[in-house]
Amino acid sequence: MGAWDIGPFENDNAADFAAFLDEAEQSERGEILRRVLVAVADSSDYLESDEGAEAVAAAALIAAQLPGGTAVSVAYGPKKPLPPFAPDLRELAAAALGRVLGADSELAELWDETEYGEPWRSDLAALLAVLTARP
C-alpha cells in the first residue's frame, strides 16, 4: 500500500499527488482536484487504492479551506500555496469520500485488513463532517 500513517498525505500516492500539484500552475490546481474527485465520485467500477488515496488527499485540501477544517501538513502535502477552491468542490469531495469509504473500494479494504482501519475511517468521517457541515 505504501502508507506510513493514516493521514491523507501519509502514503506514496498522495505524496506524489502533492508533488504533481506543486508542479502545476496555480490556476490549474483547482481543476486537477476536480478531475480526481469526479473520477472517483462517478466511478461505479472497483475503486483502486491509488485513485482512492488521491481523492482523500484532494478532499483534505478542500476541507482545509473550510471552517473546522485542519491544515494539511507541508511535510508530505503540497508545499506551494493553493488558490481558494470553487464552492462546488465541497459537495464533490464529500461524494468522492463516500465512494472511498463504501463498497468496492480497495483502499478501504486494505485499511480494514489492518489494526488502523477504524482510526482511518474515523479520520475520513471527520473530513466528511467538515465537507458536509452547513456554512
Domain layout of the chain by residue ranges: 12-132
> Which cell is 106 given?
480497495
pLDDT at residue 68 greater than cutoff 60: yes
Residues 6+ apart with CB under 8 A from 30: 83, 85, 86, 89
Average pLDDT value for residue range 58-83: 91
Confirm if 89 and 37 have CB atoms less than 8 A apart: yes
What pLDDT digit, counting tens, does each position of 97-115 carry? 999 999 999 999 999 999 9
pLDDT number for residue 81: 87
Which tens digit of pLDDT belongs to each residue from 116-128?
999 999 999 999 9
Residues near 85 by Cβ (< 8 Å), separated by ≥ 6?
Answer: 30, 33, 61, 62, 65
Tell me how many degrees the CA angle 76-80-82 measures, rounded to the nearest 5.
105
The pTM for the full model equals: 0.95
Tell me the average pLDDT across 42-52. 96
